[in-house]
Chain A
Amino acid sequence: QKEVEQNSGPLSVPEGAIASLNCTYSDRGSQSFFWYRQYSGKSPELIMSIYSNGDKEDGRFTAQLNKASQYVSLLIRDSQPSDSATYLCAVRDGGFKTIFGAGTRLFVKA
């Protein structure tokens, strides 16, 4: 059974701080990795995608991938109250199936 594991949280950070979200996955054949943001009662929204080892930066967001350790992370710099949401880690094996973690709830305190 392929799995994606995340700490459910909640993770609470003050406004302006860095939020660090982590994810591990079980399938070594996984080829693409995604972070989605999901507000309560809404559908997931793509934040970042990463395909190779290392860091990828997009604005306040940085995704980090370490395939040897089967580990993906998301850093959110200068966290804002509007960043408060559940962050879903998702992994795709190069086929059609994208497997999601249950998400980490993030609270950014003003």
Chain B
Amino acid sequence: DAMVIQNPRYQVTQFGKPVTLSCSQTLNHNVMYWYQQKSSQAPKLLFHYYDKDFNNEADTPDNFQSRRPNTSFCFLDIRSPGLGDAAMYLCATSRAGAGYNNSPLHFGNGTRLTVT
């Protein structure tokens, strides 16, 4: 089955220690997103890639970076995690282009990040 896969499912890191979360997809979607979701809150968009074009949300902290080396993979780098960065990080994909601009998001299983 075509899927969005996130690794790891659970990640524990120390305060200030860089951490990378990964996402891969077999859906061949041209848009990949990273959302942050804290307990009982709405998922919050951090950034997205449309093909190789990177789009950062205005309120995404500089501490968060992303890389998309190819269509299938996307990484979220947190350069210096703080206690407030503990959350579920959700990778999602969608198709964009003629006829697809209102297509839904397909989510991976998420990575639960704990900062100690």
Residues of A participating in the B interface, judged by any CB pair closer than 8 Å = 4, 8, 31-32, 34, 41-46, 49, 51, 88, 90, 92, 94-103
| Given A42-B110, A88-B42, 10 extra CB contacts under 8 A | A34-B104, A34-B105, A43-B90, A44-B105, A45-B107, A46-B104, A94-B102, A95-B101, A96-B33, A99-B45
Q: How far is the CB of A67 from chain B (nearest CB, A)?
A: 14
A103: chain B residues within 8 A (beta carbon):
40, 42
In the complex, are the beta carbons of B41 and A102 less than 8 A apart?
A: yes
- Report 25 cross-chain contacts, Cβ distance below 8 Å, ordered by A residue: A8-B40, A32-B104, A34-B105, A43-B90, A43-B107, A43-B108, A43-B110, A44-B43, A44-B90, A44-B105, A44-B107, A46-B104, A90-B105, A92-B102, A94-B101, A96-B48, A96-B50, A96-B94, A97-B45, A97-B48, A99-B42, A99-B45, A100-B43, A101-B42, A103-B42
B42: chain A residues within 8 A (beta carbon):
4, 88, 99-103
A31: chain B residues within 8 A (beta carbon):
101-102
In the complex, are the beta carbons of B104 and A43 less than 8 A apart?
A: no
Number of interface residues of B (CB under 8 A): 25
CB nearest neighbor in B for A40: B39
Q: Does B13 contact A (CB under 8 A)?
A: no
B81-116 interface code vs A (CB 8 A; 1 in, 0 out): 000000010100010100001101111111010000
Q: Does B55 contact A (CB under 8 A)?
A: yes
Complex Cα distance, B104 from A18, in Å, reads: 25
Q: How far is the CB of A10 from chain B (nearest CB, A)?
A: 11
From 31 to 45 in chain B, residues with beta carbon under 8 angstroms from any chain A beta carbon are 31, 33, 40-45
